[in-house]
Amino acid sequence: MMGCKSAPKAELPNERDIRCPKHGIHLGGTMKVTDPVCGMRFEQKKAVTSVEYQGRTYYFCTEACRRQFEEDPDRYLEQPA
């Protein structure tokens, strides 16, 4: 998770959902997010649905992906490379 440390927090406005881009969401707009279930990348604003889990928000391309995630979230999180 070294990527997170390089994120220049000082430059970021007072958004609550700031995350390292490598690990999911970041500021709004055209920021790309990754569906943890199917691995698809898309713009955050195009996410069909999202879910909060352990203080983080995850975005999904379909309700089906979200349901799959909710059934076994840990399976999809921070998988070792």
61 forms part of the interface with Zn ion (CB under 5 A): yes
| Binding piece for Zn ion, criterion CB under 5 A, among 3-11, 13-21, 37-45, 66-74 | 37-45
33 forms part of the interface with Zn ion (CB under 5 A): no
59 forms part of the interface with Zn ion (CB under 5 A): no
H or E segment to which residue 43 belongs: strand 41-43
Give the tokens for residue 25: 């969401």
For Zn ion, the closer CB: 7 or 62: 62
Helical spans, DSSP H, in 1-81: 2-5, 63-71
Contact with Zn ion (CB under 5 A): which of 27, 38, 48, 77?
Answer: 38
Please tell me the distance from the alpha carbon of residue 51 to that of residue 25, in angstroms, as a whole number. Answer: 12
